[in-house]
Structure 1
Amino acid sequence: MIKTIGRNDLCLCNSGKKYKKCCEANHSSKQLVEEQNKVLQGLLQEFFENHPRPSEQKELVKWKDQVENILVPLYGEDKANGIIGDIFFFSEHVAIWNSFIERKILEESQTQLKQILNSWINPLFMAGRVLSISNYRAKVCDVLSGTVMEIEVNESFSVEVGNIATGFYLPDVRVGNHFLMVLNSLTIAVDVNDDSISKLKEMYDSSELLTVPDFYKHNILAVYQILSSGLLGAEQVSSTVLEKVEELENFLIEHDLKSDEFIEVFFHHIEPLAKIPQEAIAGAIQFAIDHQFIQLEWNLEKTAHYFSVTTENATRFKDELDAFYHTAMHNKENDEEKEAVYAFEVGTDPKGNELQNWHLYMHLKNATISSENELKRQMEYYHSKSYEPKTKAENAQLLAYAAYTSTNRTENLEKIQQLDPTNSDALLLEAEVETDLKQKELLLQKAIASSKERFEPEMDVAWLYVPNRSYLRSLFLLGNFYWEQGRFEEAFPLYYELLRLNPGDHQGARYLAVSTLIALDRLPEAESLIDHYEEELSDNAFYAWFKWSIERKKKILSQATQALYVRAVDQNPYVKKYIKKQYVAVPYPKSLVITPRSPEEASLIWTFLAPTLNA
């Protein structure tokens, strides 16, 4: 016989309370929590399944390209990829996560879930030492602030007392102000030595940052580097492997060479070796030469002689690395996704897609479009269709675009000017070959005056309106003309005007503006401009070296100057040689595609830096 119990009856658990206020209430509360947990888990799953979006992919690739060489050797590829993604979405570009959560808050009707989601804005990062574990909860003490929090642990996320758990967390206000849920992936360090923790604390104490969260945000990679020494699991990399990788990279830096793929192949080959042979670097370099990973005119004898090893031993390691490489390539042949390589375009010439955008603009400029969908259809239709010029001016502009990519850029200059004497690009091309500085300046000024007549300042984004670009291009070139001659007082107003007209700065005028301000000793303004634009991940090396130059101007031998130098070298080590040997800086390029942390990027950084050190 099954005994039923009424809500007002005494509870069967012998608590002395009525059932409705005892086990029934606890059961209902537990049910509610379980339902809420399903909603929250579904929300997290939705975020990770839908990110990165296509619009975010480029920035994520940039970020990965910058940091994977730091993290992969320490954590292994899989774990490093998790860390890279977490830092990107929850710190560097946390606005993506915050925007997602804010939308979910608006959609949510339950008050308590709204409160939970509100607390999820700006996830908490913490490196915490586990103090105790009880009932699937671990008490964790932040190694810098001393704040004690509780986190949930289970069989899939196991920690022991003394471990350090590092990663991002989300508060659970249902449990209390000091209870955290793990957001995504954590790293567990089982045996971090006291020196590492002391180093982290010294960094924080000397950082002049007011709060621990601020310190973590600005030094998050350093935290992961320092705490990698006690990493849990088989992904720990020996110091011998790291030293060999560093030795190889230093050779490449010394010879102005770069190949991330080559470094990665070398690392993965030597990582499992019980002993790394003396001839490893020599054999690896010859392997890279043979496979054209690097451009170095050395034969096997020269390579072996440089590293003081025999050609036989160098060849043996080269062949082993070659076999490993071909096996790895074979395993990748069926991969649907190929990893993108991030590169960015710099220079004064029209960008690579400007001509295509001009064709599209000319097709659509007189079209009657009544809806967004119609605009989209028209753009898709005309996207790859060339426009046939209908006037002399249009024909002149098309010829001007062709001239920028021609071997002889002034071959059709006279024809362009006959078709349209006011064409500003023709004036810019004429100024390019003019040797008389006064005449060159007049041509650039004339190009500005001509193109300004067609400039539309009312556009939301000036750069996106194709006819505006000739004016912006003319301003940029006159600014560079003054800058290259050291006429910084005349150059800066032009750069400032460019940034005012086009705050998104698709041309890169901000770098020359910062260089100009430092050369003029207007250091607070230079720092302010860096602060305004530093959110862009691809600029790390440029800004790092600018900050060093600013601090050097303030006090050349200070500890702060040295610390900034070390950080800048980490962002692009190829710049060291330029500073040491004081090479003559190359002019700002007409058109160049460069990758981060490369010799080409270093050359451009030196172009910006040289005037600041000599002024």
Structure 2
Amino acid sequence: MTQVGRNDSCPCSSGKKYKKCCMNKVIPLDSLMEKELEQLKEELYNWSSNYYEVEQVLDGYFANQDIDEETLDFLTLIIVSWVIFSVTVTSGKTMVEEFVEEKKSRASHRSSVLALLEQWKNTAPSFASVVSIKIGEWIEIEDVFSSKQSKIIWEEGDEILNVGSLLIGHLLPFGTFESYFPFYVEITDDNESQSIISLLHELFKKSDKKDSTEFVRELYPDLLMELVVGTKQSLTDFIEWDKPSYQEVMELFLQKNVGLISGNEQFIENVIVLWSIFCEKEKPIIRKVEVYASMLHYFMVLIHDEYVTQKEIAEKYGVSVHAMVRALDKWDNVLREEIPAFLAGESVDGENAMLEGKDISPAEQAEKQIHSKKKNKKELKQTAADLIMQAYGASPKQQLKLIKQALELDEDFADAYTMLGDSQTDPHKALYYYEQGIEAGKRALGEAFFKNAENLKDMWLHFEARPFLRAKFNYGQVLFSLGRVKEAVANWWEILSMNEMDNQGVRYVLFQALIVNGESLEAKNLILKYEEEETMEGAYNLVLVEILMRSDRQKIDELLSIAKKVNPYVLDYLTKKKKLPNKIPTAYRFGSEEQAMIYVAEFGYLWDAIPDTIRKRFILSYS
């Protein structure tokens, strides 16, 4: 940057000499450099939209939260900012690290800008008090842990802050100054500010962290959720864990269930204490924290009498059902005495096997109930549910025994029939069991449920209806595999009429069935109904439909161009330039080659049915 002399004209174009104008102002960055950095801030935030990890974290924090749209948008900015700087992606790096490396590789910025950009990689959340203000120029702040003072640029339009206010956010180096990304959260009340600062110091002392920066990095999203939404998550009862992995298990469990904490604070605190006792007694060697976190989630579901399948829970954490169930067995054995004592105040079934029947297994309890004269319907249904959950991790022979026991207790248990269908190698036998599951689901829900039009709009929101929908979905898949395509189409349309939100992903299998059945226009309308033209699946499937409908070349070319922008790798596999690997990846980033492989593995056979002459005409020129 060129040095401006004292008697030179001021570069701000005021017409005055530099010494009479801006020389004594404290802002040393020229306007061009500041503008460039501001542009990079915006680009960095937009960069995060390329990562599926962002959606995973947001889902974890906002699931089941009753938040108005304005607050949700505000919280999304906060959480996404934390994800950008603190969450590692598939490469093992953070998003900001990949962003900086990409910018450096292009060398499209000045070296001074790139040097500042390099410092952004170490950005962590900041809690700082306002110590002084120069209106229109800068705000001086002091970090509540390190007492380091720094100045942030006064942005045009900024509200006038109060000395003593607490500012929370991510501070980016801007040379001599710093700038919040994308904004700061201000706590103006003195008592609240001091309360938060005292809590932070108390929690830091109780933690096993020596570095306050790392401590704040971990705590940040939960504390901000607490401040904005009021989740009332207990942060003061953190326990000193013997191993970091023990704490990681609890943190993952809390993260995945943050939406359920409000109203269940005492239960969550009990789980934390139970987990600490379990770790102290068992001293487990934890190779994968997700296994034990999923086990805690499963335990919570059992206690609160919610019906979520083992498979759903296991998939949420990316573990096997077998591993999760084995962990729960160990948990039950180690905490045989503690669980009833800690959960005595919970509002659960007093005779629940998880509380009072710890000395017998669900299977043994089932035998006892089957041969007893007691006919408590709710109790029988709960034991049947426990049996089915246990069956997921059992051997085929034991699984069949448990399913039969469950059906003896509750003949309307649709998921039991669905599991029997899943275990069949003969599709006709599978079809029979899925039919039985559908009928059982109908009986369990009752005629009144289906007569209420409100229930049929978003049926998936009714947990008791999910077994019926699961059986019906699988029934359609077997129909499709047997070549009974029209029946499968009718079945899946019926599911969508009951659950337009399509939580099961029915539209993707229905699309395939419509194409096979020659209903290209209906397949196109299905894509448009769910507004998926700009998703990878929707963009390429729309091209496929237009080709099959013999649309004009210009229209298809335009759609192909759009699809290629969404994911350029798909065409290499559709044109056979590349072969799919034997093992299809399960994780991907939007626009990545892994995502393309997943698409072609699922939809490629529909493209293969297009005659080669037509394929070459429309596709090869774009590959």
Tell whether the structures are fold-level matches, with TM greater than 0.5: no
TM-score bracket relative to the smaller structure: 0.3 to 0.5
TM-score by length of 1: 0.40
